[in-house]
């Protein structure tokens, strides 16, 4: 059995602004669970569609009940692949993401489409879907419930982070992201090293075509 999530959010900005802010939303003070981001593949197709693949590293704090069940040496980081397709003609930005580690514990797959609002002029619309599954015998339901709750929390932070990037783009917010603490810098440095092996896997999984970076 799979847990399903759907949300639809109006964004008070044009699609062009949302598209620009999407690539500038990290780091932000609302998404501190996102530790690193790396572009591992990018290509512009003959019809001017932009295709990208990024590797994101996120924190993976377990609830107390899970810490009693799973090994203490279980990685506290989650590596996430994010594929995106930008269609400037139809003005859509579609992302697909999924975790590539801890898959025996839980898999979270997400699809999000940013498009122009058909009802509100100069507004955009974000439609988000997610599927949470677990194959752990005897605990799959609890794990899926936890995964769904965690996803709802993180997607709310993601939207606040996007709003933050939009405010900077519009000149309404601070001119630069908030300065990270020394502890955050040290943790991010550690997670960057952990992400190296996952980045190699992501690069190997990328389409073997000549890249055109933009």
pLDDT in tens, the chain (214 residues): 799 999 999 999 999 999 999 999 999 999 998 999 999 999 999 999 999 999 999 987 776 766 666 666 566 789 999 999 999 999 999 999 999 998 988 999 999 999 999 999 999 999 999 999 999 888 899 999 999 999 999 999 999 999 999 999 988 765 444 444 454 445 445 545 544 555 554 555 555 444 433 3
Q: Both ends of the chain: CA-CA distance in Å? A: 41
The predicted structure's pLDDT at residue 71? 65
Question: Please, what sign has the CA dihedral across residues 131, 92, 121, 31?
Answer: positive
Count Cα atoms within 13 angstroms, Cβ side, for 113: 11
Task: Tell which residue, 82, 90, 131, has the closest CA to residue 114.
Answer: 90
CA distance 165 to 31: 12
Count Cα atoms within 13 angstroms, Cβ side, for 130: 24
What is the pTM assigned to this prediction?
0.78
Cβ partners under 8 Å of residue 207, min gap 6? 41, 43
CA distance 147 to 136: 13
The predicted structure's pLDDT at residue 139? 87
The predicted structure's pLDDT at residue 211? 43
């Amino acid at each position: 059995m799979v847990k399903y999530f759907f949300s639809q959010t109006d964004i008070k900005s044009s699609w062009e602004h949302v598209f620009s802010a999407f690539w500038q939303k990290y780091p932000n003070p609302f998404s501190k669970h996102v530790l690193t981001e790396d572009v591992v593949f990018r290509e512009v197709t003959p019809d001017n569609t932009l295709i990208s693949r990024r590797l994101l590293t996120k924190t993976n704090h377990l609830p107390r009940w899970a810490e009693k069940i799973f090994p203490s040496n279980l990685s506290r980081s989650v590596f996430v692949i994010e594929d995106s397709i930008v269609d400037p003609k139809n003005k859509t930005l579609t992302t697909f993401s999924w975790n590539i580690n801890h898959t025996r514990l839980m898999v979270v797959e997400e699809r999000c489409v940013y498009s122009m609002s058909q009802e509100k002029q100069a507004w955009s619309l974000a439609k988000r879907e997610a599927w949470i599954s677990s194959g752990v015998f005897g605990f799959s339901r609890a794990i899926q419930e936890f995964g769904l709750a965690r996803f709802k929390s993180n997607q709310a932070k993601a939207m606040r982070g996007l709003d933050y990037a939009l405010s900077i783009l519009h000149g309404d917010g601070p001119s630069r992201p908030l300065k990270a603490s020394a502890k955050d810098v040290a943790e991010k440095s550690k997670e960057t090293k952990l992400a190296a092996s996952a980045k190699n896997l992501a690069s190997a999984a990328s389409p073997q075509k000549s890249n055109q970076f933009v």
